[in-house]
Chains A and B, each alone.
Chain A
């Protein structure tokens, strides 16, 4: 029915199950315990997991399949965000038109950028995309201030026209909604000492992510995807045999840009604010990290990588010396101080350091990313004789080239 083969179907079902149950899976520790610090099952972070998952899936379509390393993908995320917040300000706070606008506008922008940048490949392509992204950032930050709000960015205001919201009370600030359901609406589900939060915005974003994931599987398995892989393995040969690769690379660049735009639109739908930092080059670098960390060219890898980085950013950065004292409080004083001294540089403001180390470890020991890690563990569990060709489920994706 979904036109997926059995391995992909299984993978897709696993992803569906994981996204639906995320509020439970991500909250393994009871409220109030010392380890509750590591719970990630609150709406904002879960939304980020799936939204950056979409962003990384889209990036992986370009980078994983064609090998073109775009270093300016955050520009599309930003353009999508701006398009979407303007829709909310001008038309309606319903997120559907905003999301469509973000996909269309970023697609058009990607068409322009792609048309120019795809004239070159390799490092030159990367530099060109980076230049475009930095240009967009600079424009949004200062020159286009009337349109983008400059450094302060854009938010919904009481004075917004919102011409399609007829029932809106005069002078009320709009809230992003889905046909009347507030994105922030959530249901708290206490189970024993656990507290699970089921958030509407998250499920909407997760639903969109599942569609995006499905489309990406279909692209991976299509003749179009095969052509993209051919571009990656040897573009010259394709050219010599008379195939023009430009339409294919441009098409996937635009698709990838639309994914980024969709992610940007969703970011706004969940949290109605846009700032230009979203387009800064570090944001572009982040999606590259996500993809490589998870496993470039694999289906599930980018999503895992996105989750991993966002987890580090939001959870590890919040551990402070007080938290550490609570953890190690049971130890004798000297030992406690020593442990805190050792751990402290790696948490809180040191989260970048921890992330860097993890990234190095992954790249050195697991060149295929987290997916390869999963595959190896799967291999150990089921006996070493098992080779990747017979692996099922999540590991199936590894049968696609990992670089």
Chain B
């Protein structure tokens, strides 16, 4: 009965709701046409906001913290504070320490939690609420791919942080997204010649691979490169990402006739699997008259630290290492070390460089418009950023530069001095065609400046 009492009110209410609902489409249509901005979040006033979206919690929190340090350093340098870091060694001289195009650089931070949902939520809040004109950071390929797609939709630039899977600039490449970090294919291509020299061409490899996207592309890359030089792949086994004890996966290795173990693992996975493998005495084994060897395709200093003495003598590849002696690297290490008291990781390096490259591209383009920035970055050749001459290839927005092959140091002098550079593989050896099978199936599309 009381329902009848509400009748009039309910009717009015639902009438209003329906009216509003019907009016809404026209309202929105009007807005899109009347909008004065040429692109999303065009900076107004004397500042420009960048969004630093890094993992602050979760398995890659250490790397995220280092990325954030690098970004803060980059912002200081862009605003003309500190010693300028790599700005002085950078081959492009468009930046002059007065912010970006005269606008002071400000930033907002967010936590990706290394989850694509959380990363997108955080990136969206930067774009929708804080007016960020560029999003950068991240320490996982899943997150990079997710945020890159979001930035493409929203019409802002995405400068990827640490992401190593081929897919980021392969099948999931996007016009608004750029990657400075190297990828699985490059790791494989750089490692193969070094392995050939060290271990010969007649080897039986056994792969343990983290059971997710990055694991697959890395396994494929290493497998194809090593098989091309004559190695035989005995077996490939997928291990769950959440695994912490790999002994069940190591035992079958002992029973096979493999004489090389490739650990396609990253972060905590790699620390645990390598420790297990060493504890099982794999490194003291002799199979087919050869010493048993272990390879870790993607190394990071933070991982080497976790695995401790187990990394000694183990080969892997890395994007950058603080012990590099070129001018750019030294300038960066010096300014990072002065501010924070320890050398930067490769994640910090790639993030710092990405921020600088973005700022430089805006200066050269003379506009924050994402399409102008894309144009300025495509095919851009630069030097002095720690990796030698580098090309941002226009076809897939991947940086092409030398790749470092490193080895766990036998006699580390400090807790940061864990890896030694064995070889700097020249860029020609790691270059591939944009439609290489490992990268096929993607298209950049067209740049999206947003509303």
- What is A's interface to B at a CB cutoff of 8 Å? 1-6, 9, 13, 16, 20, 39, 42-45, 48, 138, 141-142, 145, 150-153, 155, 158-159, 171, 173, 175, 181-182, 184-188, 197-198, 200, 203, 207, 267, 271-273, 275, 277-278, 280, 313-314, 317-318, 320, 322, 348-349, 351-352
A402–B17 Cα distance when bound, in Å, is 32
A278–B13 Cα distance when bound, in Å, is 36
Structural contact, B28 and A187, CB atoms closer than 8 A: yes
B128 at the interface (CB under 8 A from A): yes
Structural contact, A152 and B145, CB atoms closer than 8 A: yes
Contacts of A145 in B (CB 8 A): 213, 216
CB distance from A155 to the nearest CB of B (A): 5
A9–B145 Cα distance when bound, in Å, is 45
Out of B25, B111, B121, name the residue touching A348 (CB < 8 Å): B111
Contacts of B202 in A (CB 8 A): none
Known: A42-B125, A275-B115. A150 touches B213 (CB 8 A): yes
A60–B122 Cα distance when bound, in Å, is 27
Structural contact, A275 and B146, CB atoms closer than 8 A: yes
**In which size bucket is the chain B interface?**
35 or more
Out of A2, A173, A181, A318, name the residue touching B28 (CB < 8 Å): A181
Structural contact, A142 and B238, CB atoms closer than 8 A: yes
CB distance from A388 to the nearest CB of B (A): 20
Structural contact, B109 and A271, CB atoms closer than 8 A: no
For chain B residues 206-237, which have a beta carbon within 8 Å of chain A? 211-214, 216
B46 at the interface (CB under 8 A from A): no
Out of A45, A277, A280, name the residue touching B125 (CB < 8 Å): A45
Structural contact, A317 and B146, CB atoms closer than 8 A: no
A184–B32 Cα distance when bound, in Å, is 11
Structural contact, B445 and A278, CB atoms closer than 8 A: no
Out of B17, B25, B213, name the residue touching A152 (CB < 8 Å): B213
Known: A186-B31, A314-B121. A348 touches B109 (CB 8 A): yes
Question: What are 24 sample pairs from A and B whose C-beta atoms fall under 8 A apart?
Answer: A1-B10, A2-B10, A4-B3, A6-B6, A9-B3, A13-B13, A42-B128, A45-B125, A141-B211, A141-B241, A145-B216, A152-B172, A152-B213, A153-B145, A159-B443, A173-B153, A184-B154, A200-B25, A271-B150, A277-B118, A314-B121, A318-B111, A348-B109, A349-B56
A207–B22 Cα distance when bound, in Å, is 13
- What is B's interface to A at a CB cutoff of 8 Å? 2-7, 9-11, 13, 17, 20-21, 24-25, 27-29, 31-32, 56-57, 61, 107-111, 115-118, 120-122, 124-125, 128-129, 140-142, 145-146, 149-150, 152-154, 165, 167, 172, 211-214, 216, 238, 240-241, 443, 445
Known: A151-B213, A187-B27. A44 touches B116 (CB 8 A): no
Structural contact, A153 and B10, CB atoms closer than 8 A: no
Structural contact, B128 and A153, CB atoms closer than 8 A: no
Structural contact, B109 and A6, CB atoms closer than 8 A: no
Structural contact, B443 and A277, CB atoms closer than 8 A: no
Structural contact, A173 and B142, CB atoms closer than 8 A: no
CB distance from A359 to the nearest CB of B (A): 16
CB distance from A159 to the nearest CB of B (A): 8
A185–B32 Cα distance when bound, in Å, is 8
Residue of A nearest to B211 (CB): A142
Structural contact, A314 and B125, CB atoms closer than 8 A: yes
Structural contact, A186 and B212, CB atoms closer than 8 A: no
Known: A317-B111, A349-B57, A349-B61. A155 touches B121 (CB 8 A): no
Out of A1, A142, A151, A272, name the residue touching B142 (CB < 8 Å): A151
A349–B109 Cα distance when bound, in Å, is 10
A42–B3 Cα distance when bound, in Å, is 36
Out of B111, B125, B241, name the residue touching A44 (CB < 8 Å): B125
Structural contact, A158 and B150, CB atoms closer than 8 A: no
Given A16-B13, A142-B211, 19 other A-B residues pairs in contact with their CB atoms under 8 A: A2-B6, A4-B3, A9-B10, A13-B13, A42-B128, A141-B211, A152-B145, A152-B213, A153-B142, A158-B443, A173-B152, A185-B31, A186-B28, A200-B24, A200-B25, A277-B116, A318-B108, A318-B125, A320-B109
A91–B244 Cα distance when bound, in Å, is 41
Residue of A nearest to B153 (CB): A175
Contacts of A187 in B (CB 8 A): 27-28, 31
Contacts of A141 in B (CB 8 A): 211-212, 241
A244–B344 Cα distance when bound, in Å, is 65
Residue of A nearest to B114 (CB): A277
A95–B388 Cα distance when bound, in Å, is 48
A271–B9 Cα distance when bound, in Å, is 35
Known: A2-B3, A141-B212. A153 touches B116 (CB 8 A): yes
Contacts of A4 in B (CB 8 A): 3, 6
Contacts of A352 in B (CB 8 A): 57
Contacts of B152 in A (CB 8 A): 173
Residue among A9, A153, A320, A349 with most chain B CB within 10 A: A349
Contacts of A42 in B (CB 8 A): 125, 128-129
Out of A197, A275, A318, name the residue touching B128 (CB < 8 Å): A197
Residue of B nearest to A40 (CB): B129
A267–B124 Cα distance when bound, in Å, is 13
